[in-house]
Structure 1
C-alpha cells in the first residue's frame, strides 16, 4: 500500500478513536467537580466540564494541524501562505504502551486528578499519582505524566512543571502569564485558553500574521468550523473575531488581497504582554515531543523576541527606578485596559 494512503488510514483510525474517547469522559470528570469544597472556589465552571472529554481528541488533532505548518518552517521552506494546506497525516507518538487507548485513558485520569488537586489547593506529587492514578503501572509514570502534560497544554494552555526534584512535586503554570513561569495559585482555568494558544502558535508560525481563511482551515482539522457551534466553545466565530479581539489577545484587520480584501489575525497587545514567542514555541515543541531548537527559523525568531523583551523590561525597570511613585502607576496601566 502506498505510504501516503497508509498515513491517511492511520489518521482516520485515530480520529475515530479520539471521537470515541471524547464521549467516555464527561461523567468521570463531572464526579471531580462534585468533590470540590465550594462552588465559588472552583476555577472551572460546570459548563466547562466537557472540556476534559475533549483533551484526548485535542492531543491528537491540534498536533496534526501544527505538524503540517511547522514542518514547513523546520525545513526552511518558502511556500506561499495561500498555497499551503494543513496536512491530515499523523506524527507517530512515542509510547511504550501497546494500546494507545489505554494510555489515553490513564493520561485523562491524571489530568482530572491534577485539576482536582489544584482546585483543593493540595500539592501534586508523584507519590499520590502512583497511589491513586497508576498503582498497577508505576514503571510507565514518565510516559503517563508526559502525555497528561501535553493534554493540559492543548486543552487549557497550562504546562505542568516539576518544582521539587527531591519530593517530585508538580505545579501548574499558565502559558498566558506576564510573570513567566510563575506558579498558578487559584487562578481560573479556562478551556478557551487552549484554543487561544493554538491560534497564537499558528500566527507565529505563519510569520506574525495569518489569513482568516487559513486559520479556519487549521481549526477544521481539529473539528472546529466557522458558523457551527462547538460543544465547548459555543460560537467560535464570535469567540475568535469578537471576544479574543476585545480582550486584547488578537488583532483582526482587513487588508487588500488579490484585487479584493481579506481578514488577517495578528497577536494583540495583551498576548504580547502575557506571553512571548519562545513560550509559544515551547508549546509547539511539547506537542511534537522535541525541543524548540528543532525548528531553526522559529527558534531564531523567538530568541530575538526574547532578547528584545528582556531589554525592554530592563529599560522599564530603570525608568521606574528613576521615577518615585511610578511603580504602582505602571502596574495599574498594564491591566486597566483588560479588566
Structure 2
C-alpha cells in the first residue's frame, strides 16, 4: 500500500476510535438511570489521541448532549421531555421560588437530576439560595436516599454547560449558590437582568483557541459551535444571539480578541484570548475544565498539557519577579 494511503487510513482509524470513545464518554456523562446507579470514575475513558480535531469533536459532542438534556424554559409553565411532568410557576410579585411549585418526577433518577438542574437555574435567575430541603421535596421518595448522587450529577451538568460551580454557603441549612468560574459581569450572565451564565461557552472557546495554536479562525470557531447546535444568526435558548456574544460582548469585555487575518482577501477573521482571559484563567484551568467534560485527566491531552505546564511555570516566574520588584521598591 502506498505510504500516503496508509497514513490516511491510520488517521481515519484513529478518528473512528475517537468517535467510539466519545460515545462511551457521552453515556458516562449522562445522568445515571436505574441500571447505572453510580457515577463513573473521573479516570475512566482516558483520551490518548493526538489530533486536535478529534479532541474538539469529543468535547463538542459531550457538550451538545448536555445542552440537549438541559434545555428548559424557566419562568413559564413548561412540560419537560422524557415524561418528566412538572411545572415551575413564578409568582408575579415575588422573588421567592417554592419547592411546592415543582411537581416531582414520576420515573427515573435521570428525571430527578433534570428537575434539580432546572430548580437550581431558576433560583440562580431569581438570585435566591439553593436549599437542600427544597430539592428533597421535588425528588420522589425512592430517590431521596440517593440525593448526594443526584446533587453531584446535577452540579456536574450545570458546570459543563454554564461554567459555574455549586458552592455551599451555609452548612447547617445546607444552602448553596452558583458561582461563575471567571469574573464575567453579573456572575457570568454578561448583561444586566435575568439570563443564564455564559462562562461555560467562553471557557470552551478559549479551549478551541488554545488547541489551534493560540489563534483560531472564525471558521473553526463556528465549526465547533455548530457541533453544539449553536448557529450563526439563530438565537440560542441559553446563549442568545451567538455572533453578538462572541464578536461584540466578549470582545468589548476584553475576554476575546477578534481581528482580521493580515493580508486576507477577501477579509477573514480570527479569535485570540483577550487580556482579561489571560488575567482571570490559564491554559491549565481551561484544560482541567475540558478534561472534566470528557471524564479524563489533563495529561491525556498530551501536547496541550505540556504547553499548559510551560505557561504555568512562566506565570509563576513572572509572579516571583514582580514580588521581588515590589519588595526592593519598598
TM > 0.5:
yes
Report what 1:75 is aligned to.
none
1:158 pairs with 157, 164, 167, which one?
Answer: 164
Question: Once structures 1 and 2 are overlaid, which stretch shifts more, 221-230 or 250-259?
Answer: 250-259
1:249 pairs with 247, 255, 265, which one?
Answer: 255
**2:28 is the counterpart of 1:22:** no
1:297 pairs with 286, 303, 312, which one?
Answer: 303
Report what 1:94 is aligned to.
none
Residue 272 of structure 2 aligns to a residue in which SS? strand
Residue 305 of structure 2 aligns to a residue in which SS? helix
Deviation at 1:177, TM superposition (A): 4.2
Deviations 1:294-337 (A, max 9, x none): 2222222222222222332333344344556xxxxxxxxxxxxx
Report what 2:314 is aligned to.
308
Residues 316 and 15 (structure 1), Cα distance of their counterparts in 2 relative to 1, 3 Å cut: closer
1:210 pairs with 189, 196, 216, which one?
Answer: 216
Residues 196 and 238, structure 2, Cα contact 8 Å, conserved in 1: no
Deviations 1:82-123 (A, max 9, x none): xxxxxxxxxxxxxxxxxxx94543223223444566666647
**2:182 is the counterpart of 1:176:** yes
Residues 160 and 234 (structure 1), Cα distance of their counterparts in 2 relative to 1, 3 Å cut: closer
Residues 177 and 275, structure 1, Cα contact 8 Å, conserved in 2: no
Alignment of 1:123-202 (within 5 A): 129-130=135-136, 133=139, 135-138=141-144, 140-141=146-147, 143-160=149-166, 172-177=178-183, 190-202=196-208
- Specify the structure having the higher radius of gyration (Cα): 2
Residues 114 and 232 (structure 1), Cα distance of their counterparts in 2 relative to 1, 3 Å cut: closer
Alignment of 1:1-339 (within 5 A): 22-23=71-72, 27=76, 31=88, 34=91, 38=95, 102-115=108-121, 122=129, 129-130=135-136, 133=139, 135-138=141-144, 140-141=146-147, 143-160=149-166, 172-177=178-183, 190-256=196-262, 261-323=267-329
Residues 157 and 197, structure 1, Cα contact 8 Å, conserved in 2: yes
Residues 175 and 279, structure 1, Cα contact 8 Å, conserved in 2: no
CA distance in 1, matches of 2:23, 2:281: 37
Residues 112 and 28 (structure 1), Cα distance of their counterparts in 2 relative to 1, 3 Å cut: farther
CA distance in 2, matches of 1:16, 1:278: 24
Residues 67 and 161, structure 2, Cα contact 8 Å, conserved in 1: no
Residues 107 and 147, structure 1, Cα contact 8 Å, conserved in 2: yes
Report what 2:84 is aligned to.
none
CA distance in 2, matches of 1:9, 1:303: 29
Higher helix content, 1 or 2: 1
User: What's the TM-score once normalised by structure 2's chain length?
Assistant: 0.58
Deviations 1:200-250 (A, max 9, x none): 121122221111001011111112112223344333212211111111000
RMSD of Structure 2 on Structure 1 (CA): 4.6
Residue 279 of structure 2 aligns to a residue in which SS? helix
Residues 130 and 176, structure 2, Cα contact 8 Å, conserved in 1: yes
CA distance in 2, matches of 1:143, 1:33: 28
Deviations 1:257-294 (A, max 9, x none): 78765211010001111111111112111111122222
Residues 137 and 201 (structure 1), Cα distance of their counterparts in 2 relative to 1, 3 Å cut: same
Residue 166 of structure 2 aligns to a residue in which SS? strand
Residues 258 and 160 (structure 1), Cα distance of their counterparts in 2 relative to 1, 3 Å cut: same
How many residues are treated as equivalent by the alignment? 251
CA distance in 1, matches of 2:204, 2:219: 16
Deviation at 1:148, TM superposition (A): 1.6
